[in-house]
Amino acid sequence: MKKIKLALIAAVVGAMSLAPTQLLPAAAAILGSAVSPSQSVSTGNYGAVAGASSAATATSAFVVDTMVSSCSFNQSTVNSNTPNNSSTISLVAVTNLAVGMIISTTTGIAAGTKVTAINTGTRVITITPNTTAQIGKSVALTFSGCYQKYFNVNNIRSIALSSFQIQQTVNTTAPDSVTLQSCAGTWTEATGACTGAITNIVVTNSGTSAFTTVTGALAATTGTVRLRALSNTSGRTSTISINIARVNLRAAITTNS
Amino acid sequence: MKLGYLSTLKTVGTLTTKIAIVAAASIGGASLVSSSVFAALTASATNTTATAVSSGYMSLTQAPGGASGGFTTAITAMAPLDSVVRLVTLTNASTLNAASMTVAVSDATPTVLTTNGTTGLQTTIQQCSVAYTAVTYACSGSETTVRAASSLLSLATPQALTLIPASLLAGGVTYLKVTISLPDSTDNTLNGVIPAGIQNKSAALTWTIAATQRTATTTNS
């Protein structure tokens, strides 16, 4: 009996030793696939520059210099007297006026008197020094010392813009200033007149301004807008930088194509 | 068990007995694995009509849906947050049902568009039970999102398309709406100098939609 058991054990061991030890490869499933041809996807680019003309494309800050003194504006006092030694004057309008402009009239204004502040709501200007005599009703004042130069902001990239951000660095000190302005119509550059409303974009007395957003569509590649740098004194410069962020781009588009 | 077996061998005793055991093991093993037999007589039965046996196959095709450019025409000058919607008709021209489908996208010219999962291109894939309408790409049947918003980076490896079951049947037609989007961007361009980022980049995409055969079956028939 014992030998039979041993023989059986030996038979099993023998079978194990001769049995295959390698796994058979698994059967592969059938696959199907649909492969597209190569599809090109590209992104656009965005950017704008300031320059002397609509053709400017140089990718660097633009220096506005050699401003030309070719503009002066008349505005009248309101229908009430301005007392002697007053630091403010009420005007009928403050259109085209800028801080730093020099005021002149027949009486009551000392030579070299400058505008130091403008309240466009009340149409009251602040001056320095104070009036030297009473100024009568509806008297015309001449505001001069407006040295101006025009320049363009050009969209030189492939994505249309809805606005742009502009910054200037000036070499003035308060109360002198450089004002960047836009015109809702068309500039007459020889006289400084604008067929629409003039908007002060940024007024900078010294140093570098913050980036200020200017709203207005600029078509891809070709869009341009003409702006004016206005200073009240000669020899001033403004170095213009243009920044474009995503918020300045045209509205996003979903295209079924 | 092995130790017990050896111990048993040691106790057996004589050399003759050991030889007998080894011989028995060899013969026993051989007898258990051998299939050789010797027959003196043979007989056979052959079917008179050949049994036709054929294998199925898997075949998927994709084509632009309707007038859409599908995966074939270029997409140009995308701005951040722009989306382009394309229609693709997928046909399961297989003789076998499919068990699952996947989508993968490769880029022959990799840039941040396909290597960055956050700022790169994103896609969403929807399915309509009937063909999408022209122009508006509306679904007049039942529409489901079969691939939620995914970066193309994530689709560098195949990802599941959770299609409605009928799409998997042999001969099934699947109507897909593929939306390709460019995410929002923090890129600023100062004085026209294009920064490193997502602007002015190009990709050459190959879309692969793949299916595996249905589960193997055993049929008594």
Residue A145 has pLDDT above 80, yes or no: no
Smallest CA-to-CA distance from A210 within A187, A253, A250, A180 is with A180
ipTM > 0.85, yes or no: no
Residue B180 lies in a domain: yes
Residue B191 lies in a domain: no
CATH number, domain A71-144: 2.40.10
Band (pLDDT 50/70/90 cuts) for residue A231 is: confident
Work out whether strand B83-92 and strand A254-256 pair parallel, antiparallel, or are unpaired. parallel
| Residue appearing with tokens 């057996």 | B12
Q: What per-residue confidence (pLDDT) applies to A24?
A: 45
Distance in Å, alpha carbon of A222 to nearest chain B alpha carbon: 14
Tell which wins on pLDDT, A172 or A12: A172
Q: Does A256 touch chain B (CB under 8 A)?
A: yes
Q: Is B190 helix (H, G, I), strand (E, B) or coil?
A: strand
Give me the residue from B60, B192, B205 closest to A47, CB to CB: B192
**What helix, strand, coil percent values describe chain A, rounded to 5?**
10, 45, 45
Nearest chain B residue (CA) to A51: B191
pLDDT in single tens digits along all 221 residues of chain B: 444 444 544 554 566 666 666 666 666 555 555 545 555 788 899 999 999 999 999 999 999 999 999 999 999 999 999 999 999 999 999 999 998 899 999 999 999 999 999 999 999 999 999 999 999 999 999 999 999 999 999 999 999 999 988 888 999 999 999 999 999 999 999 999 999 999 999 999 999 999 999 999 999 99
What b-and-e string marks burial along B88-126, b requiring 16 or more CB atoms within 10 Å of the CB?
bbbbbbbebbbeebbbbbbbeebbbbbebeebbbbbbbb
Q: What per-residue confidence (pLDDT) applies to B5?
A: 47
What is the per-residue pLDDT across A174-218, written as a single tens digit (0 to 9) for each?
Answer: 878 899 999 999 999 887 889 999 999 999 999 999 999 999 999
Smallest CA-to-CA distance from A62 within A239, A242, A244 is with A239
Structure tokens at A64: 């506005």
Residues 135-164 of A with CB under 8 A from B: 156-159
Nearest chain A residue (CA) to B158: A33
Give me the residue from A16, A41, A60 closest to B191, CB to CB: A60
Structure tokens at A200: 């002060």
Residue B158 lies in a domain: yes
CB atoms within 10 A of CB B157: 10
Mean pLDDT check: name the lowest of A28-42, A48-62, A238-252: A28-42
Calpha distance A50→A168 (Å, rounded) = 11
Q: Does A22 touch chain B (CB under 8 A)?
A: no
Q: What per-residue confidence (pLDDT) applies to B40?
A: 77
CB atoms within 10 A of CB B160: 11
The domain limits of chain A are: 48-70+145-248, 71-144
| Residue appearing with tokens 């363009």 | A152
Give me the residue from B27, B77, B83 closest to A44, CB to CB: B77
Residue A11 has pLDDT above 80, yes or no: no
Q: What per-residue confidence (pLDDT) applies to A162?
A: 98
Cβ contact A51:A97 at 8 Å: no
In this prediction, residues A127-140 reach a mean pLDDT of: 95
In this prediction, residues A233-245 reach a mean pLDDT of: 93
Residue B29 lies in a domain: no
Residue B193 lies in a domain: no
Please tell me the number of Cα atoms within 13 Å of A31 on its side-chain side: 10
Q: With CB atoms and an 8 Å threshold, state whether A7 touches B182.
A: no
In chain B, the number of structural domains is: 1
Q: What per-residue confidence (pLDDT) applies to A99?
A: 78
- Owning domain of residue B120: 60-185+202-213
Structure tokens at B73: 């025409």
Give me the residue from A32, A46, A250 closest to B211, CB to CB: A32
Residue B53 lies in a domain: no
| Residue appearing with tokens 């009251």 | A124
Q: Which pTM value belongs to this model?
A: 0.73
Q: What per-residue confidence (pLDDT) applies to A65?
A: 87
CATH number, domain A48-70+145-248: 2.60.120
Calpha distance A179→A238 (Å, rounded) = 9
Size of interface A-B (CB pairs under 8 A): 233
Residue A23 has pLDDT above 50, yes or no: no
Residue B65 lies in a domain: yes
Q: What per-residue confidence (pLDDT) applies to B177?
A: 98
